[in-house]
Amino acid sequence: MQAADVRRVFEAILPDDLLRAFAEEAGLCQRERKLDVVRLLRAMVIAAATGYGGRQADAMRLYLHNTKERLSRGAFYRWFGPALEKVMAHVRERALEYARAMKLDLPGLLGEHVTDWHIVDSSTVKLDKAFIEEYPGTGDYAALKLHKRFSVGIGTLLEYHLSPAREHDNVHLTIDESWRGLGVLLDLGYASFKLLRDCARCDVKYVIRLKEGWKPKVQHISQGTVTSAFLAGTDLGALLESETILLNGQVVDCNVTFGRGAGEVGCRMVGVPTPEGTYRFYLTNLPSVVSPGQIADLYRVRWEIEMDNKLNKSLLHLDEITARTGPALRAMIDASIVSSTIACILTHQHRLAEAPPPRTNRVRTKPPLHPQALALALGASALRIADAMELRGKAAESEWERLAAYLTNLGKDPNWRRSPSILDQLRGWEVGPGRPRKSKIASSIGATAN
């Protein structure tokens, strides 16, 4: 990463003048005369990945860094009211707008047939029991769901909203004209016949797993081992039970329908054998030029949002928000999301700066950045980032240079050879075997001797 790029992202998302304007609009500065609102907002975002203690406690540590101000914990926590919630919502939108304006990276199959692939999923966060009325869980506890819309082409969130964990996922996704031309990868919690109909109506491509309990009626089979003729509209289960269709290691590609009468909907269904000898069935409306294996690869891309969930919860400590009021809770969630968005933006910028895989030699020789590793590096350098944002001139340039080098070094994917990402594979990258361990040791000994 280049120092100018790192600095530009932080200063674009957390600029002094805009943060003060947000605070004035919400009335935060008028109510809290002693509050340094710029320092507070930056502390909430930058401290998200530090993980020393509770999220608010970490923000307080960073807020009080390099200042002689004396502040009690209770006085600090009292700032986390409705006005601060409004300000942090503005900061969140600022970060997401920055991400949405970035250039897409969708080479090969990823960019065919759609303008971008969006992944929709939810993540459950348990809360203090004080929230059990506002955010009831599925049991006698409080919990909320974070509903996300994630861009594959940008590698970060585009939008999100909260709901009580008790509510079903599928009421939180509406496919309308704003989705036209896009593709969507879905968890089964959002799947419904209505969703399939809406995607067909709005020209939205989709790939989802076949939901348990759904009974596809097979209309036509274009690939697969078929032992005898059958009547169009026969249930898939009946065809498998009678061995009219054999699951013998060959892919299955067929047209199916669900429902009946005016509510009937048709789509393509593919079955792909797994290494364990079982089959996975996917529903899609992608054309037949996209093979069953490619459809399975596209669905594997849905794992990106699972990694983003891990980034939010495990590394940016959403599960450690101990706030006991709604405004404080939502402000801290926004701060964590802004922090993860910054990590994803920096990773995406670094990926765009890389030369695309050459046509002749596609072997990757340098590890890519990984959002989770980069988030950990950002957390480890939180104090330095806070200091750098207050520096000017040559001193600032030097500090951002050191930060960029540190983040690039620590933000590398440690598993890039052993477990290359499906996105890297779809982008065309190949991974070389690397030097054997003995060779590395011998080289190290030789270098020491010289």
Residue 149 lies in a domain: yes
Q: 428 by DSSP, 3-state: which?
A: coil
Task: Let me know whether 316 and 345 are in one domain.
Answer: yes
Residue 222 in this model has a pLDDT that exceeds 90: yes
Task: Give the best-scoring range by mean pLDDT among 38-52, 99-113, 417-431.
Answer: 99-113
Is 193 a domain residue? no
Checking if the pLDDT of 450 tops 50, the result is no
The answer, yes or no, to whether residue 405 has pLDDT greater than 70, is yes
Q: Burial letters for 125-146: b for 16+ Cβ neighbours within 10 Å, e otherwise?
A: bebeeebeeebbbeeeebbbbb
Please report whether residue 362 resides in a domain: yes
pLDDT, the chain, mean:
90
**Residue 201 counted as domain residue:** no
Clarify whether residues 318 and 422 are in a common domain.
yes
d(CA 328, CA 81): 6
| Sheet strand arrangement including 183-186 | 156-164, 142-151, 117-127, 183-186, 205-209, 279-284, 265-273, 252-258, 217-223, 234-235
pLDDT at 442: 53
Of 252 and 365, the one with more pLDDT:
252
Q: For 390-407, what is the mean pLDDT? A: 94
The pLDDT of residue 448: 47
Residues 221, 116, single domain; the answer is no
Q: Please tell me which residue, 315 or 89, carries the higher pLDDT value.
A: 89
Q: What is the DSSP letter of 291?
A: -
Instruction: Quote the CA–CA distance of 289 and 298 in Å, as a whole number.
Output: 14
> Does residue 157 share a domain with residue 37?
yes
Of 76, 14, 68, whose CA–CA distance to 46 is shortest?
14
Residue 294 forms part of a structural domain: no
CB-based contacts of 322, cutoff 8 Å, min separation 6: 54, 55, 56, 128
Distant-in-sequence, close-in-space partners of 46: CB < 8 Å, separation ≥ 6: 62, 339, 378, 382, 385, 386
Confidence class for position 359, pLDDT limits 50, 70, 90: low
Q: In which band, very low, low, confident or very high, does the pLDDT at 75 lie, cut at 50, 70 and 90? A: confident
pLDDT of amino acid 30: 55
Domain match, 447 and 323 both: yes
Coil, helix or strand at residue 70: coil
Task: Identify residue 134 by its one-letter amino acid code.
Answer: E
Rounded Cα gap, residues 436 and 74, in angstroms: 56
pLDDT tens for 367-389 read 899 999 999 999 999 999 999 99
Count of the separate structural domains present in the chain: 2
Written as six digits, the tokens of 312 are 């939010």
DSSP H helices in 102-163? none
Give the relative orientation of helices 82-100 and 3-13 as an angle to the nearest 10 degrees: 140
> Same structural domain for residues 262 and 356?
no
Rg of the chain taking only CA atoms, in angstroms: 25
Q: Are 207 and 286 in contact (CB under 8 A)?
A: yes
If we measure between CA atoms, which residue out of 89, 80, 83 comes closest to residue 25? 83
pLDDT digits (tens, 9 = 90+) for 116-155: 999 999 999 999 999 999 999 999 999 999 999 999 999 9
Mark which of 262, 289, 316 sits at the end of a domain: 289
pTM: 0.91
CB 422 within 8 A of CB 301: yes
Can you tell me which residue has the tokens 């690039």? Answer: 408
The CA distances from residue 177 to 36, 120, 159, 169, in Å, are 43, 17, 17, 20
Cα separations (Å) of 196 from 193, 269, 285, 288, 318? 5, 12, 9, 18, 33
The answer on 322 and 173 residing in a single domain is yes
Model confidence over 167-177: pLDDT tens digits? Answer: 999 899 999 99
Which pLDDT value is given to residue 1?
85
Co-location of 169 and 272 in the same domain: no
Let me know if residue 196 belongs to a domain: no
Last residue of a domain, one of 289, 312, 335: 289
pLDDT attached to residue 28: 85
Distances (CA, A) of 134 to 98, 197, 317, 337: 31, 33, 21, 21
Dihedral sign of CA atoms 368, 371, 373, 377 in order = positive
pLDDT of residue 436: 57
pLDDT at 357: 66
Q: Is the pLDDT of residue 422 over 90?
A: no
> Quick check: helix, strand or coil at residue 201?
helix
- To the nearest 10 degrees (0 to 180), the angle between helices 37-46 and 82-100 is 60
430 and 380 co-located in one domain: yes
Q: Within a domain: residue 194?
A: no
**How far is C-alpha 151 from the geometric centre of its chain's CA atoms?**
8
- Write down the pLDDT at residue 94: 96
One domain, residues 346 and 385: yes
Q: How confident is the model at residue 434 (pLDDT cuts 50, 70, 90)?
A: low
The residue count for the chain: 450
Tokens encoding 249: 């290691």
Among the candidates 264, 289, 314, a domain finishes at 289
Domain extent, residue 31, equals 1-187+302-450
* Separation in Å, CA 364 to CA 127, 203, 410: 43, 36, 18
Residue 173 sits in the same domain as residue 211: no
Q: How far apart are CA 113 and CA 20, in angstroms?
A: 44
The answer to whether residue 197 is domain-embedded is no
Residues 39 and 84 placed together within one structural domain of the fold? yes
Burial class (CB in 10 A: 0-12, 13-18, 19+), 323: buried
DSSP string across 395-426: HHHHHHHHHHHHHHHHTB-TTTTTS--HHHHH
Give phi and psi for 136, each to the nearest 5: -70, 140
